[in-house]
Amino acid sequence: MANFALNEPVDVCVIGTGAGGGNLIRQLCAAGVKVVALEAGPRFDPHKDFLNNEWVMFSKTAWLDPVLGSGADQTGLPVWLVKGVGGTTIHWAGASLRLQPHEFKAKTTYGNIDGATLEDWPITLDELMPYYHKAETFMGVAGRVQPPPIGNTNFLVMKKGADKLGLNAHPGTMAINARGPYDGRPQCMQCGFCFQGCTPKAKWSTLYEAIPKAEKTGNLDLRPNAMAIRVNTDPSGKARSVTYASPDGKLNEQRARVIVIAGNSIQTPRLLLNSASSQFPNGLANGSGQVGKNYTRHLTASTYGIFPKPVNAYKGITMMGIIEDYAGHKPASRGFAGGFYLETIMLGPAFLSVFVRPGPDTSTPDARAAWGEPLKNLMENYTHVAGMWIVGEDLPTPGKYVSLHPTKKDRYGMPVPVVTVNDHPNDKRMREFAWARGRDVFEAAGAVKTYDTPPYPATHNLGTCRMGADPSTSVVNRYGQTHEVKNLFIADGSVFTTSAAENPTLTISALAIRQADYIMDQMKKREL
């Protein structure tokens, strides 16, 4: 890897090394672009640092710097993101779904919905498809470029119910080496701890795919434990440098020809808003006032069921199976816009006891945690439990946004981000409908008891720097380039115009690979 002198100007400075930053860094470095990557968290060694323990890994990898929650739908932790090289690709399940064509045209397809701030994406599926193929190849998506996974026991229970209902449950497209080694990484051992970091590296992460490849080019200087504080501009209004804090608290300034922020949908708008100046009084790239707005986090919930016979759902790839029958947009028959997926999920005993029937510490203020006989019944049937996650499109509204706290600051003096969420009625209708479908599936499979489980802390954080064709209503253009600052780009889920229903990592990756091509083209043309 490269080791540029501190403050030595480079071609591109990338903030964040998750799905967006990691893919972008790999592509730029492979083409000879000199990159400094600033990562707020440490660099974990999967073989030394990853443990098969839920609470230990949560405390080790989660972004635990203050993020406050506000609004009617609060969880104990507003968001669940990873702070470390690889970002949330350490924690993610591996589900790699392409968006559907109509989801790029949410406003056109769904029409004007009261209280929603829908827009159409400025790109189409056809335009993104070549980049989906590239992303799937880098990530090794089983079911696309590798043989599909073989379903685990949790999936087989889902399938049993789905078959009786005429639904199509099948193993999902997963960025996991489900059937054999791929790209120098080994086959999945089906240990079942996908969310705790994959020790064998069978589940794709930028930590051990994109970043090492970029380092081998000699063009990447990766700086872990480097917290970006603000992006500075020159008198012409171009981005000039990034001020970041080293672990010792010392402030450094990194200059670059192009600056890319890939800090996720919470930290990216936070950084832009904290970069306000006399030139950009509302925050950098925020002339539209849309930075931090249009936040979406997917409509999520879960269904769990207890069965008369053992399931042992903890075995194997956590998000192995999927039902796609409800992914389409069928408002007349369902009473809501957009669609959702049912995907297998299972938690270890430590998380299951807390999250299946959560109390106010990990859910809404009126929630009451299970204790006594109901808890005993659930936990003594642990081996007989099956689970599925509901993930669907949620609507952007004026009541969902990320902002800066007016007075509270973190240890760097940065204002603390506040995540405000209030469900749109469409979100509530979809959740109720989806819970009923989850119950249908498990009851058809023979469940003796089912649980409607509310959302976990949000892992799919999207939309706070919306992509759009109109600079007055969006933050970035079709390439993630900010409308206001030509050499400033965004490469994470915050550019999503609308959430769509699909797990977002594959789309974030495809957009980042596409953005890399654009940046290199513009650099060659001296437009950047």
Cβ 506 vs Cβ 322: under 8 Å = no
Q: Shortest distance, CB of residue 364 to other proteins, whole angstroms?
A: 8
- List 44, 58, 92, 280, residue binding other proteins (CB under 8 A): 58
- List 54, 221, 423, 452, residue binding other proteins (CB under 8 A): 54
Distance CA 528, CA 525 (A): 8
- The answer to the question of residue 71 lying near other proteins (CB under 8 A) is no
- The answer to the question of residue 369 lying near other proteins (CB under 8 A) is yes
- The answer to the question of residue 200 lying near other proteins (CB under 8 A) is yes
- The answer to the question of residue 125 lying near other proteins (CB under 8 A) is no
Distance CA 288, CA 268 (A): 16
- The answer to the question of residue 59 lying near other proteins (CB under 8 A) is yes
Contact window for other proteins (CB under 8 A) among 294-302, 370-378, 487-495, 509-517: 370-378
Q: Single out the residue of 341, 297, 313, 326 nearest to residue 455, CA to CA.
A: 297
- List 71, 212, 331, 348, residue binding other proteins (CB under 8 A): 348
The number of CA neighbours under 13 Å toward the Cβ of 350 is: 9
- List 112, 372, 406, 526, residue binding other proteins (CB under 8 A): 372
Q: CA 189 → CA 25, 185, 311, 312, 383, distances in Å?
A: 29, 12, 19, 16, 20
Q: Could you identify the residue written with the tokens 């769990």?
A: 304
Q: Shortest distance, CB of residue 104 to other proteins, whole angstroms?
A: 35
- The answer to the question of residue 77 lying near other proteins (CB under 8 A) is yes
Distance CA 468, CA 475 (A): 7
Size of the site for other proteins (CB under 8 A): 68
- The answer to the question of residue 52 lying near other proteins (CB under 8 A) is yes
Q: CA 165 → CA 56, 153, 353, 445, distances in Å?
A: 40, 19, 30, 10
Q: Shortest distance, CB of residue 340 to other proteins, whole angstroms?
A: 25
Contact window for other proteins (CB under 8 A) among 243-251, 277-285, 311-319, 463-471: 311-319
- The answer to the question of residue 157 lying near other proteins (CB under 8 A) is yes
- Secondary structure E strands in 192-349: 220-223, 227-233, 239-245, 251-261, 299-306, 321-323, 340-344
- The answer to the question of residue 27 lying near other proteins (CB under 8 A) is no
Q: How many CB atoms lie within 10 A of CB 413?
A: 10
Q: Single out the residue of 49, 75, 74, 329 nearest to residue 197, CA to CA.
A: 49
Enumerate binding residues for other proteins (CB under 8 A): 47-48, 50-56, 58-59, 64, 66-69, 74-78, 150-153, 156-157, 160, 187-193, 199-200, 309-312, 314-316, 348-350, 352-354, 359-365, 368-369, 371-373, 375-376, 379-380, 382-383
